[in-house]
Amino acid sequence: MKAPLSSSTSSSSGILRRSRLSTYLYTVLAFIVFIAIIHGEYSIANFGRVDPIIPSPVISTTPVKKRDKLVVQLPSFAVEESEERCDIFSGKWVKDELTRPHYDESECPYIQPQLTCRTHGRPDTEYQKWRWQPHGCDLPRFNATLMLESLRGKRMMFVGDSLNRGQYVSMVCLLHRLIPEDKKSMETYNNDALTVFRAKDYNATIEFYWAPFLLESNSDNAVVHRISDRIVRKGSMNKHGRHWKGVDILVFNTYLWWVTGQDMKILKGSFKDVEKEIMQMSTEDAYRMAMKSLLRWVTRNLDREKTRVFFTSMSPTHSKGDWGGEAGENCYNQTTPIVDPNYWGSDSRKSIMKVIGEEFSKSEFPITFLNITQLSSYRKDAHTSIYKKQWNPLTTEQLANPASYADCIHWCLPGLQDTWNELLFAKLFHPDLI
């Protein structure tokens, strides 16, 4: 017969059992928390399978087909994936006074005076309070903490014209509040062609590179570039592309500068040549040439295991009042979105969208298409209009007719371009959305 346990032995055994139980419970609890984080909104994964989205040749709000051959392992930043697919570019604008805007204009010192509409006298704020609602799903909430953590040790660069610069500034405004004043900076280089925002503790940069045609052109001066007789140099992607190498997230755009109302002038040879050989091409053919050059450069110079590439579609203008307004009406004094779901502005050329669809569908390098055109077409209320810094004194005639000098190209911040970055965020982290 075993000797009875002493009270001290019994007590020690109880303590040991409780200790083991506590350790087990803590282990289980830690595992549950870990799983919740992995699948939750604040999780971060460095790699995941992503279907590169190829734009359809025909403009529509229906989901585009995926190309199975282009399903590759990418640094997607994805946090979750499901079998359900949702077209986040097809939807409607809904009023949201609870969660919009994401920031106040006065809180972000990085917004250029061309985009600070309230500072320059815009009386209403309704344009800031619209949220994009896709049909059939909700757009993931932009998470600045997750975005910054995912950019740790990385470079993100927006490349293109002033519209892409607006999206760049929007991204900086969405993130900078999380960074102490002495731990962030913004500087310009290369005669203002390159702007770099640094988050020092994250060893991360968010950059903008001025290249309105992507190819070399006579409009490459980031300060003085208002040239009506525009010339683009054929086969010159390396001129700017050498500054894009090594970037982890690249966001390209180019469109508006190609639409001159006449054929494009294309330079064969060099701008330094005394006698220049210049040929003329239609806008569509010239744009196709640029897309071929971009895709060739991306394939030859970027590592698909490291770099995510995005292309933002045409940013629409509202200069002609073709939504059914009065003759001569434009974006001036517009305070509400267009509600006709089939509206497509005449300034957004479907022939250009067709070129993008045809060329990108052949790409060997996966490129994610941000189809912001249709959803932005509804937002005639979101432009800077007359509420911006005017670089030249206004004439008496202009002052008498404000619509005559309204800027119906650029967008107020905060505003529409914050939604563009929500869509970019969604494509980075949620591969189930198309």
CA distances from 291 to 229, 305, 360, 370 (A): 21, 22, 8, 15
Considering the candidates 56, 76, 162, 319, report the single residue annotated as catalytic: 162
Report how far residue 342's alpha carbon sits from residue 68's, in angstroms, rounded to the nearest whole number. Answer: 30
Calpha distance 173→132 (Å, rounded) = 19
Q: Is 410 annotated as catalytic?
A: yes
Residue 221 · residue 227 · CB < 8 Å: no
Kindly name the residue from 87, 347, 407, 418 that is annotated as catalytic. Answer: 407
Cα(406)–Cα(220) distance, integer angstroms: 25
Contact 315, 255 (CB under 8 A): yes
Catalytic residue among 248, 410, 418, 430: 410
Q: Reply yes or no on whether 407 is catalytic.
A: yes
**From the DSSP assignment, how many helices (H) and strands (E) are in the chain?**
9, 16
Q: Residue 326: how many CB atoms within 10 A of its CB? A: 6
| Residue count of the chain | 434
Verify whether residue 162 is a known catalytic residue.
Answer: yes
Residue 289, number of CB atoms within 10 A of its CB: 19
- What's the CA gap between 429 and 176, in Å, rounded? 20
Q: How far apart are CA 301 and CA 1, in angstroms?
A: 81
Exposed, middle or buried, 342 (CB in 10 Å: 0-12/13-18/19+)?
A: exposed
Helix (H) or strand (E) holding 369: strand 368-370
Catalytic residues: 162, 407, 410
